[in-house]
Amino acid sequence: MSCSFGVHRELDARASVLALTEFAGMTLEDVAEEVGISRPTLSRIKSGQGAGRQDISGLGADVIRQLFATDSGVAEACQLLEHDMRIASFGHCDAATALRLIPLAEDRLRVFSESGEISMEAVDHLALASLEGQIALYKARATESDRGRLEHFRAAFQALFPQSDLIVRLFVLEDTVCDGDKLLGLRMLLNAFFAAWELDELEGNSQDLPWAKSVAEKFVVPSVLRKTRSIALKTQDPRLAYQMAEAAAVIGKVYAAADHLAAAIAMTGDDTTDPLVWNPAWLPTPIAQEAHFEEPIKLLMKRPEWPPEDLK
């Protein structure tokens, strides 16, 4: 399978610039000074015209430093380690490459978890759980045996899923919680959903998906749905909207699935009334081949007024 690193790199860069301008309230001039990238390049990235040849991998790190700066430094350190593993994995089209960073990540995780002297905020605790889950996910992706993959996906699920109640409460609190914390929580929920899906596949339950459905039932709720769509739009990241659409679809929430699928399609500049032809380069499997999208696709094809004005 060909590597889609370039596509993910473009989407990550655009989301990073928009996170700094939309979440952190920075101007493009501020961002240019902070990350050492010219304003014209940032403007081109923000508009979706691509990053060009310039190395923009540092953008993700600078976003993390802006959004996750707590007194303890735990959230920032954990998120930077996740970022480094992601860059290593995508950059070499190989999850095994990220394994070289795992001993460092595990050591940092152990030190933070065992230290009773650090006063941590809620986002620090979430970042620790997120890092633990990501370590397990990278191990699972780099493991060939089903038994090993099952063990690692179960570890990821056990690290991430217990945080779901806290994360959902962050979304219920609306504007009293910053969008950066919600973005972290959202990614954790979606990673828990992915781990649960893989557990179902490995345990021979790919038709019923009991683990995946149990996770989706937990977070496919109005407060999370609204904010996911908002965050996806602010960062122009169709992957977030698509993943939420998939979670909604597997538990039969057809309208929510169709709404987020429409958002994802519109953000890529494609026609929401003809979803069967939608197949962006970052999508693992065309939605026409996904049985759980059958009803949301039918709904979109019957609703030519979609997308709403804010998606056009």
Position 91 confidence tier, pLDDT thresholds 50, 70, 90: low
- Cα 40 to Cα 303: distance, rounded to the nearest angstrom: 39
- Copy the structure tokens of residue 67: 């959004």
Position 137 confidence tier, pLDDT thresholds 50, 70, 90: very high
List the chain domain ranges: 1-66, 68-218, 220-312
| Least confident among 147-151, 208-212, 279-283 | 279-283
- Residues in Cβ contact with 151 at an 8 Å cutoff, skipping those fewer than 6 apart: none
Q: Look at residue 312 in the predicted model and tell me its pLDDT.
A: 43
Closest CA to 304 of 267, 273, 266, 271: 273
On the question of a common fold for 1-66 and 68-218, the answer reads no
- Residues in Cβ contact with 66 at an 8 Å cutoff, skipping those fewer than 6 apart: 20, 24, 26, 34, 180
Q: Look at residue 261 in the predicted model and tell me its pLDDT.
A: 96
Phi and psi angles of residue 303, each rounded to the nearest 5 degrees, phi first: -120, 75
Stated length of the chain:
312
In the predicted model, what is the mean pLDDT of residues 178-194?
Answer: 95
- Residues in Cβ contact with 293 at an 8 Å cutoff, skipping those fewer than 6 apart: 245, 246, 249, 257, 261, 287
Q: Look at residue 46 in the predicted model and tell me its pLDDT.
A: 85
261 or 116, greater pLDDT: 261
With beta carbons less than 8 A apart as the criterion, state whether 54 and 41 touch.
Answer: yes
What is the average pLDDT score of the chain?
A: 88
Closest CA to 109 of 127, 94, 83: 127
In the predicted model, what is the mean pLDDT of residues 208-217?
Answer: 97
In the predicted model, what is the mean pLDDT of residues 187-193?
Answer: 98
Q: Look at residue 90 in the predicted model and tell me its pLDDT.
A: 65
- Cα 17 to Cα 151: distance, rounded to the nearest angstrom: 37
Looking at the domain 68-218, which fold is it?
A: 1.25.40
- Cα 78 to Cα 112: distance, rounded to the nearest angstrom: 10
| Least confident among 63-72, 141-150, 301-310 | 301-310
1-66, which class in CATH? mainly alpha
- Is 258 a residue whose pLDDT tops 50? yes
